[in-house]
Structure 1
Amino acid sequence: MHVTPPLPLLKRVPPGAWVALTWCATAVFTFLARIRLPGEEAAEYQVAVQFYRWDGLVILALATALALAGSRLLSRRPLTALALLLTAAGFATTNLAVGAIQLSQFLAVDVALYFIAAAHSRRTGVTAVSMALGVLVTWLTVRLLRGWGIGVSDELAVALTAVVAWLLGDASHRTRAYAEKLRVQAAGQAVTDERLRIAREMHDMVAHSIGIIALQAGAAARVVHTQPDAAREAMTAVETAGRETLAGLRRMLVALRQADQGRAAHVPEAAQLRPAEGLADLDRLAAATTAAGVRVDVRWRGERRQLPPDIDLSAFRIVQESITNVVRHAGTATCRVTVDYGDKDVAVDITDSGRGRGTSTDTGFGLIGMRERVTLLHGEFTAGPRPEGGFRVTARLPVPATAAAAA
């Protein structure tokens, strides 16, 4: 069972909490900037008349209440939350007797703008930044109409921080959207690859068995009256091939239905998926096909060794599908399989002396599946008629250096 790792500590803090912390920090900074700190000859900013009076404290408390209320609504109602934060910034600024909204009063709004742009649609983000800039313009306009002094440079700096906060949030939103799109595409591609893999497995297993069954049944039909013992043996082979095919299908379906490895313990032992087939099963495959009427001559070259499971299974499936095509389409009684173990690869070569082409009923899925298997393993694949007659399939699969060294 996969365990999702916990989020980093800073990621666990909700956006509203960050906005509230920012407001509190800037409130403390505003107070410290207006008193003489140790080592200073005077405070950096002059104190407004009402800064320490009861009316100033009431305005500060009201602004803080609005800011905290906006912080709580940030995730559910972002524009309403931003409106409360902007109102709080305006109230706090009236307490300072300055000509423009200061950055310290607007910093919580900038943090909120970032989270709004990052977590919501671009339309909502554009509306939010427009509201923030609109409040700044309105503030300057009102002071001009009343004949009061204004701080244009301070206001431009605050407007710039608002735009930067929105741009950063919008970039974060786009990055997450792109990552999600890639994740969906990767998940869809994984599903497609898995379906192709299952289709190949089903085709390779069923097509071979059905070919053997058809060949044995045809032989039994021809000798049922003249050689009843031979007909009985052929029908027994048909029954055996049919039972093996059904068992293989059942194992595959059971494996697909298992949600995770933990559920495998509850599946009966007979239904557990058997080990994947490989080149070690090639002699059994040749014997079964020979018994069906098409003699398979298997030749081994090089030192036989254990291969990685995916390469071993793919090599076996290529040989199996090629033999199936010989049985179904070649119209010949023999074929030859050569397995060559090289130092850095393994090669399989399947040849026959039949017609050298598919029939009108051949869909070509077998050759496509074989080519897909080889391509996924970065190998080489060729298939086509031979100049001297018949058909030839060759596949060369590279063996990873680590696997070759281990062998």
Structure 2
Amino acid sequence: MRVTPPLPPLKRVPPGAWTVIAWWVGLVFTFLVRIGLPGESGPAEPAGMIFFRWDGLVFLAAATVPAHFAGVLLRRRPLTALGSLLASAVLACVPLSVAEIPLAQFLAVDVALYFVAAECARRTGIIALSGALTVLVGYLATRLLFGWIVGTSEELAVAMTAVIAWLVGRSVRQTREHAEALLATATARAVADERLRISRELHDTVAHSIGVIALQAGAARRVIDTRPRRASQALGDIETVGRETLSGLRRMLGALRHSEQGQPLDPAPGLADLDKLAATTTDAGVHVEVRWLGGRRLLPPEIDVTAYRIIQEALTNVARHAGTGRCRVSIECRDDELALEVLDGGRGPRLKADGGYGLIGMRERVTMLGGSFSAGPRPEGGFRVAARLPLPAGA
């Protein structure tokens, strides 16, 4: 059994919020390195001429506005958001009087580059990285044109952090795409394997039905002159078995694969074997209470096998994952459908290496027969598996 676990706390923070947090972290760091902290003889970085003046603080406040604007737009319009962060980084350098864009002012840009590379298409990520590097080069080029000094080596370090942030984000995206591809392949393989198992069981069902038809036809041919009533009964049995077999073939034709040649096929179990299954599960440590509602009746072979397999898989999941010593199986034979329900009061499902393919197999079986299937945690605790299989008229 499988459910989606809640996101970790840090995963619940949207990307835009992380960029805003990074901007404020850089801003606080900028102030800390420009004041004399305890244990230091002086500020680690000299403050600009207007840094602590009102006009310098206005520049920093003006640079903070686009940074917050970028946090709102990052998920919907990533390139526009990145442009706002780059404008904030350049604007914040005015009161600092620095020869390059400091890493503290570029930290929010690095965070945005990571999320753009991780969440957006490759082309968008490349444009974002190119834009960030272009701004760094343009800042140095502008200072050179005015004859001012530049911090080329320090700007190279800032550029390296931008490239690394982009590479890490790209790596995360590729890892996620690879995991999704593996999951899709594994799911398709699980469905194919389940269909192969169903086809094997259908092989047994059809072979049995054709054998019955052949026997009844032979008996009818031998007594048609001497015992016409017995011959008529045999022909009626042939018609019934033929209709049931044809109904089963129509449901699964085109969706099943042929059985592998040369492998022996075990007889397909049915609801008649449910008591034995319950006893086996009880011996394994989970007491199974079986409830029959509406009495028992002869079911079409494909429905009988499917009902048994669904209950079998549900009981297996209870024994493996639920952590409880009891469960209840209910089977109700209605006029037009067979209703199945498996309830347990355990601690609930856990993630396992099988990825929940048992549920996929059960759903696939029910879908093939045109029924409905549901599985999930119960509000009062435990887990519930339910299926409804339509019955052909006269079943």
Q: What range describes the TM-score normalised by the shorter chain of this pair? A: 0.5 to 0.7
Structure 2 gap ranges (5+): 246-298, 315-328, 342-395
| Residue 394 (structure 1) aligns with | none
| 1:308-352: CA deviation from partner (whole Å, max 9, x where unpaired) | xxxxxxxxxxxxxxxxxxxxxxxxxxxxxxxxxxxxxxxxxxxxx
1: CA distance between counterparts of 2:332 and 2:123? 52
Other-structure match for 2:212: 212
| 1:252 to 1:33, Cα distance in 2 relative to 1, 3 A | same
RMSD: 3.1
Q: Which residue of 1 aligns with 2:78?
A: 78
For residues 273 and 58 of structure 1, what CA distance do their matches in structure 2 show? 70
Q: Distance in 2 between matches of 1:143 and 1:11?
A: 40
Q: Distance in 2 between matches of 1:266 and 1:145?
A: 85
2:93 is paired with a residue whose SS is helix
Identity of aligned residues (%): 54
TM-score (norm 1): 0.61
User: Match for residue 288 of structure 1?
Assistant: none
1:234-383 matches, cutoff 5 A? 234-235=234-235, 238=238, 247-251=300-304, 268=333, 271-272=338-339
Q: Contact between 2:244 and 2:300, CA under 8 Å: does it hold in 1?
A: yes
More off after superposition, 76-85 vs 208-217: 208-217
- CA 1:195–1:137 in 2, change beyond 3 Å: closer, same or farther? same
Q: CA deviation at 1:235?
A: 4.8
Partner of 2:29: 29
Q: 1:9 to 1:154 in 2, by over 3 A?
A: same
Between the aligned partners of 2:178 and 2:128, the Cα distance in structure 1 is 23
Shift of 1:257: 11
The change in CA–CA distance for 1:115 and 1:267 in structure 2 (over 3 A counts) is farther
Q: CA deviation at 1:206?
A: 2.0
For residues 265 and 131 of structure 1, do their structure 2 counterparts lie closer, same or farther at Cα, with a shift above 3 Å needed? farther
How far apart are the structure 2 equivalents of 1:255 and 1:95? Answer: 76
Corresponding position: 1:93 with 2:93: yes
Using the TM superposition, give the Cα deviation of residue 265 of structure 1 relative to its aligned residue in structure 2, in angstroms: 6.2
Q: What are the residue-to-residue correspondences of 1:389-404 with 2, within 5 Å?
A: none
Q: Following the alignment from structure 1 to structure 2, what is the Cα–Cα distance between the partners of residues 208 and 254? A: 19
What's the CA shift string for 1:232-282, capped at 9, x where partnerless? 675576478569866223446778999x98xx96954682579xxxxxxxx
Secondary structure of 1:271's aligned partner: strand
Q: How much has 1:53 moved relative to structure 2?
A: 1.0
Question: How many aligned residue pairs are there?
Answer: 272
Distance 1:151 1:66, change over 3 A: same
Describe the SS at the equivalent of 2:50.
helix
8 Å Cα contact 1:217-1:235 kept in structure 2: yes
CA distance in 1: counterparts of 2:106 and 2:88, whole angstroms: 9
Distance 1:67 1:272 in 2: 58
Give the structure with the higher percent helix: 1
Letter in 2 for 1:51: F
Q: Distance in 2 between matches of 1:257 and 1:77?
A: 47
Task: String of CA shifts for 1:42-92, please: whole Å, max 9, x gaps.
Answer: 110111111111111111001111111011110000000000000000011
Aligned partners of 2:14, 2:212: CA distance in 1, in Å?
A: 65
Q: Which moved more, 1:180-189 or 1:61-70?
A: 180-189
**Larger relative contact order, structure 1 or 2 (CA cutoff 8 Å, min sep 6):** 2
Superposition pairs of residues 72-221 of structure 1, within 5 angstroms: 72-221=72-221
